[in-house]
Amino acid sequence: MKRVSLAKRKTIYDLAELAGTSASAVSAVLNGNWKKRRISSQLAEKIIRIADEQGYAPNMQASVLRRERSSIIGMIVPKYDNRYFGSIVERFEAMARERGLFPIITCTRRDPDLEMEAARAMISYQVDYVIATGATDPDRITDLCAAAGVRTVNLDLPGTHSPSVISDNFQGALELTRRVLDNCEKELARKAPLMFVGGRGTDHNTSERIRGFRAAHHEIGITPDENLILACGYAPEKAEQSLKALAEGIGELPHGMFVNSTISLEGVIRWIRRSDHYGERKPQIGCFDFDPFVALLGENIEMVRQDVPKMLDAIFDIIDNGISDRHLIEIMPIAESMA
């Protein structure tokens, strides 16, 4: 059964026979290499017409097997559950296709083993490039790929063995913190330190954001309380639990907070609603990430939106130009306030 339908698939030999020419001519025409081979435009047109009529689809496996480069490009991404990674993937796909590259994307759910396995699978499919997005261990991926002659670029989280494009986490956090401190000061009529919630203290982005968070406090001559820096992971539940535990421990929480992602913010808002810790007087919040519904929440929330288009421009700049210096490009995120 299945054999029959597959057996029908036309090859360039079938087309050659129908056109009364050779497979190599068909190949050249269908790849647009026919000026180099100086095939008559008559023959070219005929071949194209026949390919069309026959519903011919090239066999990319055969093509890739024979070729030097596959024109397949892989991307590893941690999650599809937020706007940030969603827009990265969507734009990546479009930009890859614009360049005649075939994108292959794998979601690894922040699991280091899955990341490695995904990279291995991509190598087996002969990808020319791997973009490791938000990878927990980018250098291991780079090394694995390098051993197979596959280049890599890191996105969102930096590595040291290949070029990286990330947000300017320090500067972004600095400015976001300034805005929230400012909002707090206006509301309370005095300077007051904020708390920090969410992210992994071990990852580059979180530690840079904490650095920016501290710097903004120092600028106005106050020092954030180190016990109020809760790098408790990204999951909403973690943020919720941490806040609960902290509130039980120290009583009253600061009136403003820096939240490290929309994912963590989910837990934060839930806790605020459930605990009623703040009563009517909602806290001032700054969120290092953007979501359109957050903008409608009705809390006092400042956001920064990571500049995905610029980041991907930088990624493809590296790819298009074959750059492999292990440098770090930092892209400034964009300020967003509630409407």
Joined tokens for residue 295: 């903008």
Contacts of 95 (CB under 8 A, 6+ apart): 312, 316
Q: Could you say whether residue 58 binds DNA (CB under 7 A)?
A: yes
Q: Could you say whether residue 124 binds a copy of itself (CB under 8 A)?
A: yes
Q: Lay out the site mask for a copy of itself across 140-169 (x = CB under 8 A, - = otherwise).
A: ------xxxx--------------------
Which residue from 49, 53, 63, 188 is in contact with DNA, where contact means CB under 7 A?
63
CB of 8 to DNA, least distance (A): 10
Q: Could you say whether residue 71 binds a copy of itself (CB under 8 A)?
A: no
Q: Could you say whether residue 11 binds DNA (CB under 7 A)?
A: yes
Handedness of CA 124, 130, 133, 138 (dihedral sign): positive
In terms of Cα–Cα distance, which of 296, 301, 281, 297 is closest to 179?
Answer: 301
Q: Could you say whether residue 100 binds DNA (CB under 7 A)?
A: no
Q: What backbone torsions phi and psi does residue 166 show, to the nearest 5 degrees?
A: -140, 170
273 binds, among DNA, a copy of itself, none (CB under 5 to 8 A by kind): a copy of itself
Instruction: Count interface residues toward DNA (CB under 7 A).
Output: 28
CB of 128 to a copy of itself, least distance (A): 9
CB of 153 to DNA, least distance (A): 25
Q: Which is nearer to a copy of itself, 229 or 269 (CB)?
A: 269
In terms of Cα–Cα distance, which of 94, 134, 128 is closest to 114?
Answer: 134
Q: How many CB atoms lie within 10 A of CB 200?
A: 17
Q: Which is nearer to a copy of itself, 6 or 189 (CB)?
A: 6
Dihedral, CA atoms, 302, 308, 309, 312, nearest 10 degrees? Answer: 160
CB of 128 to DNA, least distance (A): 14
Q: How far is residue 263's CA from residue 266's CA, in Å, rounded to a whole number?
A: 5
Task: State the DSSP code for 65.
Answer: H
Q: Could you say whether residue 67 binds DNA (CB under 7 A)?
A: yes
* Among 64-72, 165-173, 187-195, 242-250, the segment contacting DNA (CB under 7 A): 64-72
Q: Lay out the site mask for a copy of itself across 295-314 (x = CB under 8 A, - = otherwise).
A: -xxx----------------
Joined tokens for residue 254: 């600061």
CB of 26 to DNA, least distance (A): 7
Joined tokens for residue 107: 């979601």
Burial of 251 (0-12, 13-18, 19+ CB in 10 A): exposed
Q: Could you say whether residue 317 binds a copy of itself (CB under 8 A)?
A: no
Query: In the range 7-66, which residues lie near a copy of itself by CB under 8 A?
Result: 8-9, 55, 57-62, 64-65
Task: State the DSSP code for 157.
Answer: S
* Among 159-167, 214-222, 244-252, 262-270, the segment contacting a copy of itself (CB under 8 A): 262-270
Q: How far is residue 302's CA from residue 331's CA, in Å, rounded to a whole number?
A: 19
239 contacts 270 by C-beta, under 8 angstroms: no
CB of 130 to a copy of itself, least distance (A): 13
Helix, strand or coil, per DSSP, at residue 108: coil
Q: Quickly tell me which residue has 């292959």 as its tokens.
A: 104
Residues found near DNA in the complex (CB under 7 A): 9, 11-13, 20-25, 27-28, 30-31, 33, 37-40, 43, 58-59, 62-63, 65-68
